[in-house]
Amino acid sequence: MTVKAKKALITGGGSGIGLAVAHRLAHDGAEVIVAGRNETRLKTSGFPYILMDVTDQQSVTSAFAEAGPIDILVSNAGSAATAPALKTDLDMWQNMLAVNLTGAFLCAQTAIPGMIEKGWGRFIVVASTASLKGYAYTAAYTAAKHGVLGLVKTLAIELARTGVTANAVCPGFTETELVAGSLETIMKKTGRSEKGALKALVRDNPMGRLVRPDEVADAVAYLSGTGAAATNGQAIIVDGGELAS
């Protein structure tokens, strides 16, 4: 399942799951480039980097032109905001769609044609269990994540005979800054301690803990490899059994 001599670009690669993926693919032999908007984080990642705003088509086009042909695209950039569905304003709705759905679409549309030309490629979205179930107070985020899984499935069918695959990895709550922000929100709104807030966050996970970024990276590494050639259009769930319970 080697990725040696393959070039991988990871959006949102400066921290969290994206950085864990970068380290794993580099360990497995890939040439890794990380991309994102926060140059300070990208610089400290230790990887070659490119500035990219996935919501801006010109930024995406310029970044991929700078990177050159890509073999593995990990669309990891994402954001989460919470509000009751009927109190979600249009700005929040559009921002969640832009970052979590349109960003993946723009990156795919820009990078995949080069993969088709070479007859080999991997498009992998780091989605969420919110691609497969609903969560209260996350209407915009959940809608975007459901949408990105639909994009993956459609691409998988269209690309099936090209040597390029499209898949998603769907983590549950993971040890990232994004989830740390969710813990802070729970603590502020409920008055719970950090331990109590964490317990509430993982209550649906039979393992009773957060997923680790490296566990998500392992799933991405599998999908990136040559041995995953027949794995296409799938949502690989990494959630400790939440969706099975």
Query: Which residues contact residue 13 at a Cβ distance below 8 angstroms, ignoring those fewer than 6 apart?
Result: 19, 21, 22, 32, 33, 34, 35, 36, 42, 45, 47, 49, 74, 76
Q: Exposed, middle or buried by CB within 10 Å (0-12, 13-18, 19+), for 79?
A: middle
Residue reference for tokens 């919110």: 130
Q: Is 222 a catalytic residue?
A: no
What Cα–Cα distance (Å) separates residue 214 from each residue in 20, 99, 104, 158, 219?
A: 6, 23, 22, 30, 9
User: Are 33 and 45 a contacting pair, CB within 8 Å?
Assistant: no
- DSSP secondary structure code for residue 83 in this structure: B
Q: Which sign does the torsion angle of CA 7, 8, 11, 13 carry? A: negative
112-129 burial, b for 16+ CB within 10 Å, e for fewer? bebbeeeebbbbbbbbbb
Catalytic residue among 49, 135, 141, 222: 141
Catalytic residues: 141
